[in-house]
Amino acid sequence: MQRAMPYTPIIGTLGYVLSPDGDKVLLIHRNARPEDAHLGKYNGLGGKMQPDEDVASCMRREIREEAAIECVEMRLRGTISWPGFGPKGEDWLGFIFRIDRFTGTPLERNPEGSLSWVPVKDIMGLPLWDGDRHFLPLVFDTDPRVFHGVMPYAHGLAVSWSFIRI
């Protein structure tokens, strides 16, 4: 794919908070705003990085804002370049975290939708972004290496997926 412009993605974080026993993950069901590009889908927690923060601070802030809990232990599981993912074809670069320990009690809902604990083994049966089905197994597996992937989107659909682990 030839690009006339330099790659200037929106940088974001996406976090998957595990229950204390590691069997469940806290997901948001994006069901609160009809104009939401993610409407009806389940997703991890996260959002856009602010100019004055690093990716770890962004992840902590987003988890605090969306679930009212504090990250105690989190692990970078991977990065994904999503060219063309945004509603107007914007490029995204995501830092994917797994939050293994937290303090506090998660909210039941926030302005984007309802939060719920879902068994990790059941995630693939939920309405997700199709592309999430490719990388989610890498978030929860036992391989300690970080993955780095590229998932181009066109017309709201993932058109390919490739990754390496280092």
Structural domains of the chain, with CATH: 10-165 (3.90.79.10)
User: At 32, is the secondary structure helix, strand, or coil?
Assistant: coil
- Residue 79, CA atoms < 13 Å, CB-side half-sphere: 10
Q: Which two tokens stand for residue 152?
A: 């181009």
* pLDDT at residue 161 is higher than 90: yes
Whole-number average pLDDT of the chain: 95
Residue 65's identity, in one-letter code, is E
pLDDT at 39: 86
pTM metric for this prediction: 0.94
Residue partners of 139: CB distance under 8 A and separation at least 6? 16, 77, 78, 96, 98
| pLDDT, tens digit, 9 for 90 and up, residues 131-146 | 999 999 999 999 999 9
pLDDT at 11: 98
pLDDT at 2: 58
Q: Are 15 and 59 in contact (CB under 8 A)?
A: yes
Positive or negative, the CA dihedral 125, 127, 133, 138 is: negative
| pLDDT, tens digit, 9 for 90 and up, residues 28-67 | 999 988 888 788 999 999 999 999 999 999 999 999 999 9
Which of 129 and 9 is assigned the larger pLDDT? 9
Q: Are 54 and 95 in contact (CB under 8 A)?
A: no
What mean pLDDT comes out for the span 152-156?
A: 91
